[in-house]
Amino acid sequence: MTRLAWRLARPNILSSALLLAAVAVFAVLTRRAMTGFMHDSGLGACLAGGGDCGDLVQAFDLRFDAVTTAVKLLNVVPMLIGVFWGGPLIARELEQGTHRLVWTQSHGRGRWLAARLGLHLAGAAAVAAAFTELMTWWFEPIERIRVQGTVMYGRLDPNVFDFRGIVPIAYAVFAFAVGAAAGALLRRTVPAMAVTLVTYLVTTLLVRVWREHFMAPLRSRYAFGAADPRAGKGDWVLGHDTVNAAGVLSPLSEVPAACAAQADRAATDVCLGGLGYEWADTYQPIERFWTFQLIESGIFAGLAAAALGLAVWWVVRRLA
């Protein structure tokens, strides 16, 4: 049974290897271009020296905006595992009737399921782990950019978090489990694949929206014109607001006319600081990265276990 399961899994494994190879080529070429730009432009030296690198960071963003945008599309890799691995796994067998031959042998449904699900589940986790390691290596150059007021590339940033740690593995396992369960219930390959796609997208979107509420965010206040005390740490900044002397939110559009009429930004900051105005940041500290990884992975692992349990129960009991 294991040999049969391995033979049936080889097309998926081969296609996944080709996909990883394509992503690796993209990662190597673009990382080389980014590191070359950081060296030639002086951005790397500026970041190492702790200077004001805002203009250089902006140039980096403009130069590689298309690349960083394209990388976001790689979030679909776990979803593809669910759609093309999980969706057809059981559905195709039931749809074509090939399951009957196996079930009439001495192996039984339980052993058949264990071999098919176990091998594909391990393969999905392995592909996701390799993908995560590749993306962790790719993000290393741009993760060094920590400049207040520009795009943040910290590990908690939504555009980075989904590619790091153990979360991508949990995504892939969840997507595969949903696909297997949909295939068992619907017994049709294409509908199972469609349900997997929609379920994965909706679930991940809801969890990502909820992510910032996993733990109560922290708040820091500092004077106008002063440097953010946590700048460069890689925190996930959720809000950057202005508060007056009473601690009440006060948009810059509503500041006193005397301060608004100052000649430049520095003079405006001095004026507002003298009136007790402060910056107020709401953020999730970078120190919570692994806590958030464990929380989100636990959510998807629990959902995956429920989906796999449903698939096994449906095949063993309901289809008996």
* pLDDT band, very low/low/confident/very high, at 289 (cuts 50, 70, 90): very high
Does residue 220 lie in a domain region? no
Are 249 and 308 found together in one domain? no
Tokens of 256: 């006193």
Residues 282 and 280: their CA atoms lie apart, in Å, by 7
Is 139 in contact with 87 (CB distance < 8 Å)? no
Does residue 102 lie in a domain region? yes
Residues 6+ apart with CB under 8 A from 50: 232
Are 141 and 256 found together in one domain? no
pLDDT digits (tens, 9 = 90+) for 12-46: 677 778 888 998 999 999 999 999 988 888 888 88
pTM attached to this predicted model: 0.83
314: nearest Cα among 181, 199, 118 = 181
Is 278 in contact with 222 (CB distance < 8 Å)? yes
Does residue 81 lie in a domain region? yes
Does residue 249 lie in a domain region? yes
Residues 173 and 121: their CA atoms lie apart, in Å, by 7
How many domains does the chain fold into? 2
pLDDT surpassing 90 at residue 181: yes
Residues 69 and 245: their CA atoms lie apart, in Å, by 40
* pLDDT band, very low/low/confident/very high, at 267 (cuts 50, 70, 90): confident
Are 133 and 268 found together in one domain? no
Phi and psi torsions of 151, nearest 5°: -60, 135
Are 19 and 146 found together in one domain? yes
- What range defines the domain where residue 255 resides? 236-284
> What b/e sequence results for 32-64 when a residue is b if at least 16 CB atoms lie within 10 Å of its CB, and e otherwise?
eebeebbeebebbebbeeeeebeebbeebeeeb
